[in-house]
Amino acid sequence: MPQPLPSDRPKVGPLAALAATVLLAACAAGAAAQEVPGVEGKDRLRELQARYAASANEKLPRAYHFGSQGPGDVFSNHRSHSNRQVAVYTFGRRIDLSAVTGSNSRYRDAGRIEEVYGRLPENTLNPEADYADQSDLYRVLKDAAGRGVKHLFLVWFDGMDWPTTRAAAIVKSGKVYDEGRGSGLFFQDYTAGGSTQYGYVVTSPTHDFTVQDVDRQVVTVPGNSLPGGYDAQIAGPNPWTLGPLGPKAPGYFKGQNANAVDKAGVLDAGRILHAYTDSSQSAAEIVSGVKSYNSGLNVADDSRIVPTLFHQLQEQGWKTGTVTSVPFNHASPAGMYAQNVERDDYQDLARNMLGLPSIIQEVRGSKLYPGLDVVMGTGYGIVTTSSSLKMQGKNGVAGPLFITDADRAAVDVRNGGKYVCVHTEPNAEGGKVLRAAAAEAARSKARLFGLFGAKGLDHLPYRTADGRFDPAPSLNSKGLPAPAEAYSPTEVLAQPTLVDMAEAAIEVLTAEPEKPFILFVEAGDVDFALHANNLDNAVGAVHSGDATVRAIASWVEAHSNWDESAMLVSSDHGHYLVLDDPKALIDGK
C-alpha cells in the first residue's frame, strides 16, 4: 500500500548545470581509472563489475548476479526484462496513488483484471493484493490533472526495479536496507511537504509477441504467443518478498525467455509462465490505460489506434514534452505520443512526435496530432543498417536512422517549421549549446527539438557509480565479456546531461506561464546498462535520473508548489538483478 513519509525533508537548492571544467575533470579522472582497471578501494562497484564480467562463465560466489541460477553459479543466465513488480513514487497533494492500490487494487477483482487483459489470466486473481496494474497509473495521472494540477511530471527510470534501486541507494548512502521504500536516493527521501506516496505495480503485457505489418499498420496475435499475468504465489506480494512457491520456480520471472530448467521449476510448482513486458507497451499503457502486446505503441491487440493522455491534455490547451537519455523516439518517450504497430519504425515515430504525417495517417486515416512542444534525446550520428532499414517499412529512407534529413529540415524554424533545432556540436559544450537553443525557443514562443549523441553512441555517456565517466566491461548478447565504453573529455563535453535537458524543457514549456504542461523525463540508459548486465553503469544512470528528480523538485519549490504541481516516478519493467551480498557493494573483498 502507499506509504507516506514523515513531513521533514532535506533542503533543496537550485541545481545548476555542470560546468565544463567539472565535466572535463570527471572524464579525465575516468580515463585515468580505465588505464589501471580493477584498483581495489578506488571504485568498488567498477572493480566488482570488471571482475564478474571477466569470470562470467565461472561458478563463483559474488555480491550480485543476473538470472535464475542462484548464488555461487555463473554470473548471468538472463540479459532481458523480468516479471517483477516495479515501484511507484508520487509527489504532490493532488495526485493519489492510494486510489488504485491496497483495497482498491484491481487484482482483487476478477472482472477488473479481465478489463485490462481481455481475459482472466491464470493464477492472477489475488484477494489480498496491495499492488496496482501499470495501466492504472493512467487514471492516477489523469485524475491529478482533473484536480487542478498545472504542472505534471512523469519521471521514468527504464528497467529499474526494486533491487536496482536498492543497489543504487546502497552505493550512494553506504547503508543497507532490506524492505520497503528504502532510503539513500533523493526520490526515496524527499517528501514534497509530506505529500509523497509509495506503491508498486504489475507490468505484464497481454501477449509476448505478435505479427506486425508496418506497411498496413495492423497486428495479429498468434495462438502460441505467451499471455501475460502475475502469479503472486511465485512472484510475491511486493517487490522484496517472494511468494511461497518462489523458491521452487525462480525461472518464472524470465517469462518467455525461461530455459528448460526454469520451465521445469514452474511446472513442478503446479503453475504456468506469464510473459514479461517490453518498454513500448509498458510505457504506452501508463498514458493510455490500455494494456497491449509487446513491441506496439498505442495500438491495441485488435489493431485499434489508442490516444494517450498527452493527446488529451494537448487538446485542452496543455503543452507537452518528452526528454530522454537515449534515442528521442525510443520505446518509452515514443509511447507518450506516437502510434504505431512497431516500436522500431523509428522514422515514422519521429514524424508522429514532431507533428508530421506518418504511415499510420496514410494507411489507417489516423488523426494527425500537432506534435510535442519539446522533443529531446539522442540518436544523432546513428545511421541505418540493412536490418534497421527494413524495420522502417516501404517508406524507410537510408541514412540517419531515427529521423530522416528531410523531416529534420521540415520541422526547423529556419525552414518555416515549428521547432528550434539543436544537435551535437563536436567542439562545443553540449549543455551550453542546449541552453542557448532553449532560450531562443522560449523567447520566440517556438518549440524545441534537441538531437544529441554521436556516431557509435546512442545514449548519453555513462556517468558511473563513482561519478566519473569510466564504465566497466559488460556482457554482450551472447553472455561473453564486452569491452567497456570509453569517452574522451571532448566527447563527454559535447553532450548535455539529463538535468540539462530537463531544465531546458521546463524553460520552453513555461514560456507561456498561463498554460499548463506535462513533461516526461527518462533515464533510459538504466535499461541499456542492465541488458548488458552492467551494474556499475546502471547505478550511475539511476544517480543521473535521481539528480533530475532533484532538479524538478527544486523548480517546483522555487516557481510553483505541490498543490499545482505533481510528479510520478516509476519504471516500465525490471530486469533480473539479484543482490547476493548487498554489503559487499560498499566494502569487503
Q: Is 531 annotated as a binding residue?
A: yes
Report which of 146, 140, 121, 445 is spatially closest to residue 255, judged by C-alpha positions: 121
* Pairing, β 517-522 against β 319-327: parallel
Report which of 188, 186, 153, 185 is spatially closest to residue 560, judged by C-alpha positions: 153
Report which of 212, 204, 221 is spatially closest to residue 278, judged by C-alpha positions: 204
Q: Is-contact 353 370, C-beta < 8 A?
A: no
Rounded CA-CA distance 155/569 in Å is 5
Q: Is 115 annotated as a binding residue?
A: no
255, amino acid identity: G
Q: Is-contact 239 200, C-beta < 8 A?
A: yes
Rounded CA-CA distance 449/551 in Å is 21
Torsion angle of the four alpha carbons 351, 356, 358, 363, in this order, in degrees rounded to the nearest 10: 160
Rounded CA-CA distance 391/384 in Å is 10
> What's the chain's Rg over C-alpha atoms?
22
Q: Is 274 annotated as a binding residue?
A: no
Would you tell me the crossing angle of helices 162-173 and 535-559 to the nearest 10 degrees? 80
Report which of 436, 558, 542, 545 is spatially closest to residue 497, judged by C-alpha positions: 545
Catalytic residue among 68, 204, 279, 571: 279
22, amino acid identity: V
Torsion angle of the four alpha carbons 17, 23, 24, 25, in this order, in degrees rounded to the nearest 10: 120
Q: Is 572 annotated as a binding residue?
A: yes
Would you tell me the crossing angle of helices 535-559 and 44-54 to the nearest 10 degrees? 140
The answer to whether the Cα torsion of 226, 227, 231, 237 is positive or negative is positive
Report which of 545, 549, 477 is spatially closest to residue 158, judged by C-alpha positions: 545
Q: Is 143 annotated as a binding residue?
A: no
Q: Is 114 annotated as a binding residue?
A: no
Rounded CA-CA distance 253/231 in Å is 10
69-79 burial, b at 16+ Cβ within 10 Å, e below that, comes to: beeebbbbbbb
Examine the residue annotation and report whether 288 is marked as an active-site residue of this protein: no
Residues, the chain: 589
Contacts of 302 (CB under 8 A, 6+ apart): none
Q: Is-contact 545 529, C-beta < 8 A?
A: no
> 49 is written with which cell numbers?
563489475
> 437 is written with which cell numbers?
537553443
Instruction: Quote the distance between the C-alpha of residue 501 and its chain's center.
Output: 16
Phi-psi region of 34 (alpha: psi -120 to 50; beta: other; left: phi over 0): alpha
Q: Is-contact 328 338, C-beta < 8 A?
A: no
384, amino acid identity: T
Q: What is the DSSP string of 404-415?
A: -HHHHHHHBGGG
Q: Is 573 annotated as a binding residue?
A: yes
- Residues that constitute the known binding site for Mg(2+): 330, 332, 522
Q: Which residues are catalytic?
A: 279
- Residues that constitute the known binding site for Zn(2+): 527, 531, 572-573
- Residues that constitute the known binding site: 330, 332, 522, 527, 531, 572-573
